[in-house]
Amino acid sequence: MAEPQSSLRFGLRSLRHRNYRLFFTGQSLSLIGTWMTQVATSWLIYRMTNSAWLLGFVGFAGQIPAFFIVPFAGVWVDRWDRLRILKITQTLSMLESFALAALVFSGHVNVWSITLLTMFQGIVNAVDMPARQTFLVDMVVDRADLPNAIALNSSMVNSARLIGPSIAGVVIAIAGEGACFLIDGFSYLAVIGSLLLMRMTPGPRRAHKNVWSELKDGFEYVYRFTPVRSILILLISLNIFGVPYSVLLPVFASDILHGGPHTLGFLTGAAGLGALISAITLAMRRTIVGLGKVIAITAVVFGASLLLFGLSRWIFLSLPLMVVTGFTMMQQMSGSNTIMQTIVDENKRGRVMSFYTMSFIGVAPFGSLLAGLAAREIGASRAVMLGGMLCVIVGIWFSRRLKAIRSVVRPIYVRLGILPEVADGIQAASALQTPPQ
């Protein structure tokens, strides 16, 4: 009998694939800069305008391109070379960060220049994110390691989410927002270098139909496939009502908790810590069975933590609540990604993951805009509390759909050998029925 792997080695098993190891290393460095830019942009907007509504508006402008582009990006990702797509998108992202730095250092920065560059980055992200999600399958040859790669990807993002904002708070206080943008620009060299070092085997070429026809096929597949449809409805709802709390964090840091950029960094970093812990627990899972129940529970807890965060007026209560918020949000996002990547048809993977991407960055602009408007009308605290209550309701709805989801997913898990006890039972029954040779 093979000796079981240690927990650590098992949790890092997807790193044995060379291309994924390169990607993981490059992205780990680059994403720290990305989070620095995100925090610096929010703080810069609020410092210049002191407007919660403009925070929401800039968030809307940066994310709205995805709503229109992501569905088509899914078709392109299914057609084109994903490695080449990522080389282009990462290079464009680097140039955008350098442009932001140049504007700040030259003294020509204003709300509209930030908005335009944020929109440009939104267009790039609309293509980059579904390409990055589906590229995991190209890098991780052994499909059994795919759930681990997805979880490690999440841990990478959230390690950066923990480190980046903390560094950003210090850098902003010492050198200003422009230094964050400059550091981010140079950090992209790490991921671009990793992509250039990869050795990929060309996959089989797929016959192309009309773009609209392929888009329609993808939509019909998602709509008719109960597990994917239900997961996407949950994610869309949470990303409209709950996740835009992050847009209002500068208001909480400055006006409610009476802090500065370091307080914003601590709040964002606390959410990142929770998400990192969540991603590590997912990486250590030895099976994806039961993830549907986890998603339902964490959706309810996510909403409850936002409700309490809106009530809090003390930093020492707000920080633990942000940890819970980050943990539960990541359980939903990574758990949903893992289930969908496991059960979808290979020839529709790009389109399904484009809808997954759209469920957060595509609908997020509307959530950001609603959050900004709600904060202006009823205050940031009440806006976050209202969003939290709606998330609880949606989480309860999803939990009531689990029985129908399991009835569809279970046969797929058996066919893939994910339910080994069932698969072994089938094999044993077949052996009993086979006459001896």
Residues whose CB falls within 8 Å of the CB of residue 64, separated by 6 or more in sequence, listed in order: 119, 122, 365
- pLDDT of 257 > 60? The answer is yes
Better-scored residue on pLDDT, 102 or 274? 102
Tell me which of 3.40.50.620, 1.20.1250.20, 3.30.930.10, 1.10.10.10 is the CATH number of domain 10-198+213-425: 1.20.1250.20
Better-scored residue on pLDDT, 303 or 140? 303
pLDDT, one tens digit per residue, over 184-226 is 999 999 999 999 998 876 555 555 566 677 777 778 888 888 8
pLDDT at residue 409, as a whole number:
81
The whole-angstrom separation of Cα 432 and Cα 424 is 12
The whole-angstrom separation of Cα 172 and Cα 157 is 21
> What mean pLDDT do residues 423-433 have?
37
pLDDT at residue 70, as a whole number:
76
* 75's tokens: 């078709």
By 3-state DSSP, what share of the chain in percent is helix, strand and coil, each rounded to 5? 85, 0, 15
Rg (CA), the chain: 22
Going by pLDDT thresholds of 50, 70 and 90, the confidence category of residue 324 is very high
Give percent of the chain with pLDDT exceeding 90: 18
pLDDT at residue 408, as a whole number:
84
Better-scored residue on pLDDT, 352 or 298? 298
pLDDT, one tens digit per residue, over 6-23 is 566 766 778 888 888 898
pLDDT at residue 208, as a whole number:
58
pLDDT at residue 102, as a whole number:
95
User: Phi and psi for 199 in degrees, rounded to 5?
Assistant: -120, 110
Going by pLDDT thresholds of 50, 70 and 90, the confidence category of residue 419 is low
Rounded to two decimals, what is the model's pTM? 0.69
pLDDT at residue 434, as a whole number:
39
> What mean pLDDT do residues 162-184 have?
87
Tell me how many helices (H) and strands (E) the chain has: 18, 0
pLDDT, one tens digit per residue, over 111-130 is 889 989 988 988 898 888 88
* 241's tokens: 């009502």
pLDDT at residue 202, as a whole number:
59
Going by pLDDT thresholds of 50, 70 and 90, the confidence category of residue 3 is very low
Contact assessment for residue 153 and residue 136, using Cβ atoms and an 8 Å cutoff: yes
Average pLDDT, the chain: 80
pLDDT at residue 423, as a whole number:
39
HSE toward the beta carbon, residue 209, CA cutoff 13 A? 9
pLDDT at residue 427, as a whole number:
39
Segment of 165-174, 314-323, 363-372, 390-399 carrying the highest mean pLDDT: 390-399
pLDDT at residue 429, as a whole number:
35
Give percent of the chain with pLDDT exceeding 70: 88
- pLDDT of 2 > 50? The answer is no
> What mean pLDDT do residues 267-288 have?
78
- pLDDT of 337 > 50? The answer is yes
Going by pLDDT thresholds of 50, 70 and 90, the confidence category of residue 431 is very low
pLDDT at residue 287, as a whole number:
72
pLDDT at residue 87, as a whole number:
92
- pLDDT of 39 > 60? The answer is yes
Task: Please report, for the chain, the start and end positions of each structural domain, with discontinuous segments joined by +.
Answer: 10-198+213-425
Better-scored residue on pLDDT, 365 or 258? 258
